[in-house]
Amino acid sequence: MSDMVVVRREGMYCVPGDFYIDPWRPVGRAVITHAHGDHARWGSERYLTAASGVGILRSRLGDIQVDALDYGDTVVHNGVKISLHPAGHVLGSAQVRMEYQGEVWVASGDYKVEPDGTCTPFEPVRCDTFITESTFGLPIYRWCPQQELFDEINAWWRKNAAQGRASVVFAYAFGKAQRILSGLDPSIGPIICHGAAEPLNRVYREGGVQLPVTHMVTEVEKADIRRSIVIAPPSAAGSPWMKRFGDYSDAFASGWMQLRGARRRRGVDRGFVLSDHADWPGLMTAIRATEAERVIVTHGSVGVMVRWLRQIGLDAAVFETEFGDDEAESSDPNAPAASPAEAAPEGAADA
């Protein structure tokens, strides 16, 4: 049987179904895994996405024709049975399961395997062919448990507040910001969000996600600003908006912060290793759980991932795509260039 999914100029294309998955150019029918800008682009005639992601998708793409599908429900298009399953990446993120003439393919989109309170946890889906990301597909990337990181952030904020300094965390406005908010201790002080994140907070709350009370900076008394924590996109660094916080301590939240020197190159006081993507053990866990004999890698540390999968006996290949890194705005610009020693997968069998 020929490949069910191929790559065309417009994006990943399901041949028998005549639809695209996260196309990077306008198409007739687009199935969207999640609303980050490298996966959800404006201009297609009709979209299909997970029901919990419709609000986010509309908030980012505007007035579009979008159909919603609950996780696990199916729709048949040109003989292909389509269902969406939780990816655990951000609100509304989904893996796309496609079944045609007894064969099953799954396109993961972006995903992480550790549950958090801001989106439905990742659900492994058995398939014959698994199309996976590998943003952090190197053995050096291993995340600490989420609660440990939240405790670290709150301790840093508490210490700064006691010294009369605001705490500023630079993080991607969609997904990362809300995840950080979900772990903050509001008893320490006010929580201020940049205007890029606050509208998305509202969509999360409308979707039933519990987040602490947040404020715009204009709503907080000047004296209270010194006890506050501020969530802002990296683009706000060095802007006039930041002058409102006086002598503040700053930090970056990104998976790239695990690389040596990333915090120093960014010129921030702290680096918090927090990612909405799977780390190396998470990628290995997810791939094993699919029981797929064939794995196609789309973006990230593609070369290392493919070589390793072949070493462990899988049929591994690459799709050249235009997907990027939704952490890129909040990452160290040199981050993807790990050293050969760091990239080597030897010793990663227990990942």
Instruction: Supply the pLDDT for residue 166.
Output: 97
Q: What is the pLDDT of residues 190-248, one digit of tens each?
A: 999 999 999 999 999 999 999 999 999 999 998 899 999 999 999 999 999 999 999 99
pLDDT band at 1 (very low <50, low <70, confident <90, very high): low
Instruction: Supply the pLDDT for residue 344.
Output: 36
Say how far apart CA 210 and CA 181 lie, in whole Å. 9
42 close to 36: Cβ distance less than 8 angstroms: no
Phi, psi for 51 (deg, rounded to 5): -55, -40
Q: Which domains can be identified in the chain, with CATH numbers? A: 5-141+276-343 (3.60.15.10), 146-272 (3.40.50.10710)
Residues contacting residue 147 through CB under 8 Å, at least 6 positions apart: 183
Q: Pull the structure tokens for residue 156.
A: 């840093």
Phi, psi for 26 (deg, rounded to 5): -60, 135
Q: What is the pLDDT averaged over residues 141-170?
A: 97
Phi, psi for 104 (deg, rounded to 5): -120, 130
Beta strands 294-300 and 129-134: pairing type? parallel
Predicted confidence (pLDDT) at residue 349 exceeds the cutoff of 90: no
Instruction: Supply the pLDDT for residue 328.
Output: 56
Lowest mean pLDDT among 228-232, 296-300, 341-345: 341-345
Predicted confidence (pLDDT) at residue 325 exceeds the cutoff of 80: no
Instruction: Supply the pLDDT for residue 327.
Output: 66
* Mean pLDDT, all residues of the chain: 92
Residues contacting residue 169 through CB under 8 Å, at least 6 positions apart: 153, 180, 229, 230, 231, 232, 250, 251, 252, 253, 272
SS3 for the chain is CCCCEEEECCEEEECCCCEEECCCCCCCEEECCCCCCCCCCCCCCEEEEEHHHHHHHHHHHCCCCEEEECCCCEEEECCEEEEEEECCCCCCCEEEEEEECCEEEEECCCCCCCCCCCCCCCCCCCCCEEEEEECCCCCCCCCCCHHHHHHHHHHHHHHHHHCCCCEEEECCCCCHHHHHHHCCCCCCCCEEECCCCHHHHHHHHHCCCCCCCCECHHHCCHHHHCCCEEEECHHHCCCHHHHHHCCCEEEEECHHHHCCCHHHHHCCCEEECCCCCCCHHHHHHHHHHHCCCEEEEEEECHHHHHHHHHHCCCEEEECCCCCCCCCHHHCCCCCCCCCHHHHCCCCCCCC
